[in-house]
Amino acid sequence: AQSVTQLGSHVSVSEGALVLLRCNYSSSVPPYLFWYVQYPNQGLQLLLKYTSAATLVKGINGFEAEFKKSETSFHLTKPSAHMSDAAEYFCAVSGNTGNQFYFGTGTSLTVIP
């Protein structure tokens, strides 16, 4: 079985500050891990994915995430927040190709000018 836990339903950062969104996963098989972003009244857009290649994954819009098996974590970071980063972020896990995604409850990111 797979699941993810996102710590912190709301995160606020100042513009230009580091963004850190936390995600811990549980999986009985080697996982595929994802971060999606959702802007208001929009669908989910893939930011990045981990597929058992490099543990540090770079995505779009300057985001990256590091897979740490020992910590069962896949935290999302961005060195410098931009106002346009304000959105809802979801971490998700999948156990295999063609399998369903299990999503976390989401973290709402607010960027303060």
Partner 1 sequence: EAGVAQSPRYKIIEKRQSVAFWCNPISGHATLYWYQQILGQGPKLLIQFQNNGVVDDSQLPKDRFSAERLKGVDSTLKIQPAKLEDSAVYLCASSLVGSIEAFFGQGTRLTVV
- Which residues bind to partner 1, rule: CB under 8 A? 9, 32, 36, 41-46, 49, 51, 90, 92, 94, 97-98, 100-101, 103-106
Distance in Å, CB of 103 to partner 1, minimum: 3
Q: Which is nearer to partner 1, 62 or 106 (CB)?
A: 106
| Beta strands at 44-50 and 32-38: parallel, antiparallel or unpaired | antiparallel
* Token pair of 95 as six digits: 């156990």
The residues, any chain, with a CB within 8 Å of residue 96's CB and separated by 6 or more, are 29, 32
Distance in Å, CB of 92 to partner 1, minimum: 8
Residue whose entry in the numeric block shows the structure tokens 């980063």: 85
Distance in Å, CB of 41 to partner 1, minimum: 7
